[in-house]
Amino acid sequence: MRSKYFQLGIKGLVVCLILVVATMFFIPDCRSQEVSSKFIVIGVPTSLGYPHGVEGLEAVNMAVEEINTKGGVNVGGVKHLFKVYSIDDRSATPGTPLNDSIMAYEKLILERKPNVLMVGTYRSEVLLGAMDLLSKHKTIELNTIAMSPSMEKRIAENPQKYKYNFRVTHNALQMAASIAVQGDAFQKKFGFNKAFIIHEDQVWAKATADGCEVMLKKKGWEILGREVVPTAVTDYSGPLLKARNSKAQVIFTVFSLPETAICSKQYYEMRIPAVYAGYPSYIVPGHLWKTLEGKVAYQVVTAGELGLVPTKKYPKSVEFFEKFKKRLGHWPDADHSGASAYDAVYIYKEAVERAGSLDPEKVIAALEATDHMGVNGREKFSPQHQIIFGNNPKETACEVTFQWIDGKRVVIAPEAIAEAEIQLPPWIKK
């Protein structure tokens, strides 16, 4: 009678499962009771299984610990401490339903009553959907991951309703502008003017590629073709072949998913006679040379944040990077969100202190007047709540362009912080 014991076992298993679930039910609830008025609650709704989310959260924690050990935030004469709660919105996992991610936001807002949300979702779809939610609950959000400029468009259309959203990192258009700056470097040094664009299929990537195309065309580039790669594809030979056949001199890529590192590898193996450039953000991390066995050599990358590709010309970035790397215990994996999440905490702290209150309306007014020297440069918000980017960290926030040479990330643009000049891969004959 084996099946008898088997059934007993199954029933035991079911009971155990129910018990486990029941205990899980009580754990989060006990914690939520202790929110005191002396705390400022920061909510972090993001994908906790993925680098941008994890590192964003770590950076927030790091900034919060620094501030708390120094005595916290002075809100109209009363000392407040920061407190961080996070929730997994699963937006980075392909195939998570939209309502699931938005419900994660709502759960965090309703249960923890955060004063501010930071880091935020991966997916622009969720960002746009959550805007209505934030305005309903009058909760401020400082985004550091999602890059869709549709956010500013909606804020411009209805500033009163959507004033709760701010973005501390770059948006897709600013990214495109930085890619165009790369184009300048190629044009000036080698006289290139034929480009091919490959980008992944996300809202922000599309917007970046669009912006990039317009800006490059304005500068006299010829765009020979454009290719969209669906998410979760790991064979890039098709688009790369197209780029090769078009006889382009530079391939501008716009990528963010982990698997896109493969594109770099494939490009190297196929020896495509065009420079691999643009924003393949997954080859930003410092350990990538080793992981990909040097197959990223001579690839030109624009990294979103100065704090994550530090340069000695802006000491604040180096200082942050060393601290952050030590805290993580390894090279940061994400190309953005870490440094800006760190800055976001300080921006919010300063805004609250200036406002002297936690009232969202006053804090928003104070946030709009932000002028903060952060690890990414000097940070000010545009009227549409987007950090302004430029080419000199002493004037605005700044994006960095570097090239992989001999296992090192050599900063080549913008000129104010460049360490060396751009080079061509040896297999390209000029």
CB of 187 to another protein, least distance (A): 27
Nearer to another protein among residue 52 and residue 349 (C-beta): 52
Does position 247 interact with another protein (CB under 8 A)? The reply is no
Matching residue, tokens 């804090």: 363
Q: Whose Cβ is closer to another protein: residue 80's or residue 199's?
A: 199
* DSSP 8-class letter at 387: B
By CB under 8 A, which span of 49-57, 172-180, 187-195, 395-403 interacts with another protein? 49-57
- Judged by CB under 8 A, the residue of 58, 66, 111, 350 near another protein is 111
Query: Is residue 56 a contact partner of residue 46, using CB atoms and an 8 Å limit?
Result: yes
Which residues, numbered 62-81, are part of the site for another protein (CB under 8 A)?
none
For another protein, give the closer residue by CB, 48 or 410.
48
**Alpha helices in 281-421, H assignment, sequence order:** 288-291, 315-328, 338-355, 360-368
Residues in contact with another protein, total (CB under 8 A)?
75
Shortest spacing between CB 288 and another protein, in angstroms: 8
Shortest separation between residue 45's beta carbon and another protein, angstroms: 11
Q: Compare residues 85 and 389 and give the one whose CB is closer to another protein.
A: 85
Site for another protein in 124-163 (CB under 8 A): 124-125, 128-129, 131-132, 148, 150, 154
Question: Positive or negative CA dihedral for 83, 166, 398, 406?
Answer: positive
- Report the alpha-carbon distance of residue 198 to residue 263 in Å, rounded: 10
Our finding on whether 329 is near another protein (CB under 8 A) is no
- Residues whose CB is less than 8 angstroms from the CB of residue 143 and which lie 6 or more positions away in sequence, other chains included: 119, 120, 121, 127, 151, 165, 166, 167, 168, 169
Q: Of the two residues 25 and 218, which places its CB atom closer to another protein in the complex? A: 25
Residues 9-28 that bind another protein (CB under 8 A): 10-11, 13-14, 17, 21, 24-25, 28
- Residue with smaller CB distance to another protein, 327 or 354: 327
Residue range at the interface with another protein (CB under 8 A); choices 171-179, 181-189, 223-231, 369-377: 223-231
292 binds another protein (CB under 8 A): yes
The yes or no reply on residue 1 touching another protein (CB under 8 A) is: yes
**Footprint (CB under 8 A) of another protein, residues 265-284:** 266, 269-271, 282
Q: Does 48 bind another protein (CB under 8 A)?
A: yes
Which CB atom, from 269 or from 319, has the smaller least distance to another protein?
269
Contact 43, 117 (CB under 8 A): yes
DSSP 146: -
Query: Does residue number 90 form part of the binding site for another protein (CB under 8 A)?
Result: yes
Q: Is 32 in the site for another protein (CB under 8 A)?
A: no
Binding of another protein by 93 (CB under 8 A): yes
DSSP letter (8 states) at residue 16: H
**Helix (H) / strand (E) containing 114:** none
Which amino acid belongs to residue 57? L
> Is the Cα dihedral 157, 160, 162, 168 positive or negative?
positive
**Which residues are CB-contacts of 299 (< 8 A; sequence separation ≥ 6)?**
264, 267, 275, 276, 277, 280, 283, 403, 404
Cβ closest to another protein, residue 230 vs residue 426: 230
As a whole number of angstroms, the distance between CA 23 and CA 120 comes to: 29
d(CA 327, CA 281): 22
Q: Which of 252, 248, 240 is nearest to 184 (CA)?
A: 252
Q: Which is nearer to another protein, 100 or 371 (CB)?
A: 100
Which range in 90-98, 318-326, 355-363, 413-421 contacts another protein by CB under 8 A? 90-98
Q: Which is nearer to another protein, 126 or 176 (CB)?
A: 126
Does residue number 368 form part of the binding site for another protein (CB under 8 A)? Answer: no
**Residue 92 has which token pair?**
């980075």
325 binding another protein? (CB under 8 A): no
**3-state helix, strand and coil shares in percent for the chain, rounded to the nearest 5:** 45, 20, 35
Q: Please, is 133 exposed, middle or buried when counting C-beta atoms within 10 Å of its C-beta (0-12, 13-18, 19+)?
A: middle
Q: Does 429 bind another protein (CB under 8 A)?
A: no
201 binding another protein? (CB under 8 A) = yes
Exactly one of 191, 230, 329, 426 binds another protein (CB under 8 A); which one? Answer: 230
Residue 420: HSE in the Cβ half-sphere, 13 Å Cα cutoff: 13
Least distance from another protein to the Cβ atom of residue 76, Å:
28
Whole-angstrom distance, CA of residue 247 vs CA of residue 14: 62
**Would you say 217 or 330 has its CB closer to another protein?**
330
Q: Which two tokens stand for residue 37?
A: 């008025």
Shortest distance in whole angstroms from residue 392 CB to another protein:
33
